[in-house]
Structure 1
């Protein structure tokens, strides 16, 4: 017997290979949901809305926002997924006013939810196990601690901690200055014992690096943010540090006790694959409809 054909979803977002929207689009297709995409502008008077189950707008800061015309013609569910907090609040308030979603999905910063004139659901990032994976046992990995990310002024505290690790752990093999993406980033994390993560100085929002590090089977050593505890448990799935001294102490400890590091890293990896891949997010999205 043939499986019932699923109704397509229309995704509207500026696509890049590494935006969360691209991961989610791929995951929707992987679970059998057809997806049509619009990247620049959408006029709902020129679209057969009857063929779609819903419309999903996705925040994509690297591209101009999708321009919308004739939003009043849309009678199917409209959902908007945003990935930033205070640093793009004004822009996202404008986009919500333009897109008029029936439901707003937020990856974090739920304390901002009352500012939006629509219902809000927590919809965090996930891991793409087709990209972020590794078969190298943790003790056999050649990089002790890895980090990949920006070095702009909003990350002054993070940069200070990176410099502290470079000085205090100078005998260790660390990789802190590369900016790889996708498969190259997976290769870096997949050959690292520890993946270091720290958020911006004044905007504490947990990010994709946690999922990517865990997806590659590394021990994630991270600062704390409000929504993390909804998904992960400190000391079980990853390790949280609270100061520079705590960071250095925990980095040394787990590099000297790789059996404990491997146990926590394995638990984090298993937990992500069980509950926090983008296929899980895709199924969550369909349930919302």
Structure 2
């Protein structure tokens, strides 16, 4: 298979949200090109390379499939022109179900959709759009165990933006957080009712992945509090999210212990008894923070198990090999490929 990848156009320097996924995906595809004899890869860095190069590069590469990551910065007119080449072109969206209303319009010119949330697949298929599920993953070259200085060490750590459910959790947990060395990193935390009490614990700004890794490695417990499904009011059907976020894999790849929101797909990805500690609601989270802070061996054993499972099953190389399998065997994509390409 010959795959052509169009980056998100969100930039390769640090930005707030999923900032380094393009780099991670491109690196994994290049590794696969070296190890898989029948796979060839090329890419276009949207908003980094001149737009006129896109069409000539695709014509010269002659791909079997084109994949656009996120798609928000690739004009629909460009996708329509690429469709005329009779090469299957799909978009990989990574904000489902939070942005389903926006994505419903975004995906229209594409032949197919790849979504990171399993419970969103039906949404696209019900609208006549072929869709497959592919969770996000981790680049273990970036997220890995390391020794860190004291300034990165904590009892409780959270990295992420202050979405409403997280604000509620941290406001309610303030007495517990203040009894321990707590670090909260991200944007919008001034919205906390207890901001003045907690501000000594808060770095109220995003930080680059290279720093995130250090805080994960220095924490006894990393909290992975998932967003609620419609916190942006862009999911009018209120479709619940089923698949864990990318932080799940990134924290685990650091061999750090995490307490993660329970989601339906978690048990398909990790053993909840031995690999991944989860919580269902605020009271459960409070109870488990107290428990695991006082059970070091159990905490460290679970983190080690999750680390091994992540390297085995949840790296981007493993994930993208599965994507190639999906693309090769999707019946509707085979129908598009059966027509001669117009290059």
TM-score tier, shorter chain, comes to 0.7 to 0.9
8 Å Cα contact 2:7-2:22 kept in structure 1: no
Structure 1 outlier segments of 4+, above 4 Å: 40-47
Aligned residue among 57, 70, 90 for 1:79: 90
Equivalence for 1:3: none
Deviations 1:101-120 (A, max 9, x none): 2x321101335243442222
Measure how far apart 1:13 and its partner are. Answer: 2.7
The whole-number CA distance in structure 2 between the counterparts of 1:106 and 1:35 is 22
Query: Are 2:186 and 1:175 equivalent residues in the alignment?
Result: no
**2:11 corresponds to:** 16
Count of residues paired in the alignment = 274
Alpha-carbon deviations, 1:124-153, whole Å to 9, x = none?
00011111111349xxx83111111111xx
Determine which of 76, 96, 109 is the counterpart of 2:107.
Answer: 96
Q: 1:238 to 1:161 in 2, by over 3 A?
A: same
Partner of 1:286: 324
Q: How far off is 1:202 after superposition?
A: 4.0
Supply the distance in 1 between the matched residues of 2:68 and 2:115 (Cα, whole angstroms).
12
Unaligned runs of 5+ residues in structure 2 are: 13-18, 34-39, 185-201, 231-239, 329-343
For 1:252 and 1:115, the matched residues in 2 are separated by: 44
Q: CA deviation at 1:43?
A: 8.8
Equivalences for 1:1-289 in 2 at 5 Å? 7=2, 9-17=4-12, 18-32=19-33, 33-40=40-47, 46=56, 47-48=58-59, 51-59=62-70, 64-67=73-76, 68=78, 69-98=80-109, 100-101=110-111, 103-108=112-117, 109-110=119-120, 111-136=122-147, 142-151=153-162, 155-176=163-184, 177-178=202-203, 179-203=206-230, 204-205=240-241, 206-287=244-325, 288-289=327-328
TM-score (norm 2): 0.72
Contact 2:153 2:215 in 1 (8 A): no
Query: Which consecutive residues of structure 1, in runs of 5 or more, have no partner in the other structure?
Result: 1-5
Aligned-partner Cα distance in 1 for 2:218–2:318: 26
RMSD: 2.6
Output the TM-score relative to the length of structure 1.
0.84
